[in-house]
């Protein structure tokens, strides 16, 4: 158990809908990363927050947004969903900084039908 | 900028050695290595920092060549449990911008 909690574990929704994925980081971790992993593909970096502030953005679509709340949990919002958005979405947390390892949650498997 | 890993896949017999390489077109400050088993979350293996500091794992080692902007992961006397996909990530430069961007992965299969 990495200490990072993601909910829900599985989500099935229709095209055009909006969903929210939730991530609770490890206790004491200020940094949260979001990744998208399509079937048998690599980990695509989406966005990163540190202590409530957005710090880095990757290839995140405009239909996707995220935020980190004062209690440090984070949410990833995906809207106007398309079939191609079906993927495993991982959240990872770390203490921040170059030396800090990232701990991954078990992921949310999103299926868009 | 996504780092490039090689090889993309490798199949070994138990007890053989493997080397996985990670290259970046940008200057590397830190390199992270993770292993992901099928259907599971990636798990931390090792961090290498510019300047040579290394944190890591008992039976797996790594090198970091700052000049060549490369890192290599060495798995010696591989065990069945080493099977999985290995990702290298080019890490953040401290407390500022904190992208942790991963390569496309190297799939390692260890057969008995």
- Judged by a CB distance cut-off of 8 A, whether residue A43 touches chain B is yes
Q: Can you tell me the distance from the alpha carbon of B35 to that of A12, in angstroms, rounded to the nearest whole number? A: 27
Q: Between chains, do A99 and B30 touch, taking CB under 8 Å as contact?
A: yes
Q: What is the pLDDT of residue A110?
A: 97
Work out the percent of chain A whose per-residue pLDDT is above 90.
Answer: 83
Q: What are the C-alpha distances in Å from A107 to residues A39, B15, B101?
A: 13, 32, 17
Nearest Cβ partner of B98 from A35, A55, A107?
Answer: A55
Residue among B102, B19, B27 nearest B63 (CA): B19
Q: Which pLDDT tens digit goes with each residue over A23-70?
A: 999 999 999 999 999 976 789 999 999 999 998 888 899 999 999 999
B2-46, pLDDT tens digit by residue? 899 999 999 999 999 999 999 988 877 788 999 999 889 999 998
User: With a CB-CB cutoff of 8 Å, which residues 77-96 of chain A face chain B?
Assistant: 90, 92, 94, 96
């Amino acid at each position: 158990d990495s200490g990072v909690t993601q909910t829900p574990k599985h989500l099935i929704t229709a095209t055009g809908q909006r969903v929210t994925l939730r991530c609770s980081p490890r206790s004491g971790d200020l940094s949260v990363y979001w990744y998208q992993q399509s079937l048998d593909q690599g980990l695509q970096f989406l966005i990163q927050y540190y202590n409530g502030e957005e710090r880095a953005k990757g290839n995140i679509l405009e239909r996707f947004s995220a935020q980190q709340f004062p209690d440090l949990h984070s949410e990833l919002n995906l809207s106007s969903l398309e079939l191609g958005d079906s993927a495993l979405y991982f959240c990872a947390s770390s203490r921040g900084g170059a030396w800090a390892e990232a701990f991954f949650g078990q992921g949310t498997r999103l299926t868009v039908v | 900028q996504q780092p490039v890993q090689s090889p993309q896949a490798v199949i070994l017999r138990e007890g053989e050695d493997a080397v996985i390489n990670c290259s970046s077109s940008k200057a590397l400050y830190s390199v992270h290595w993770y292993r992901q088993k099928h259907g599971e979350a990636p798990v931390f293996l090792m961090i290498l920092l510019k300047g040579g500091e290394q944190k890591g794992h008992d039976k797996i080692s790594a090198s970091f060549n700052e000049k060549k902007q490369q890192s290599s992961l060495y798995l010696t006397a591989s065990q069945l449990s080493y099977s999985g996909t290995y990702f290298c990530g080019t890490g953040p430069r401290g407390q500022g911008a904190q992208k942790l961007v991963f390569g496309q992965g190297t799939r390692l299969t260890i057969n008995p």
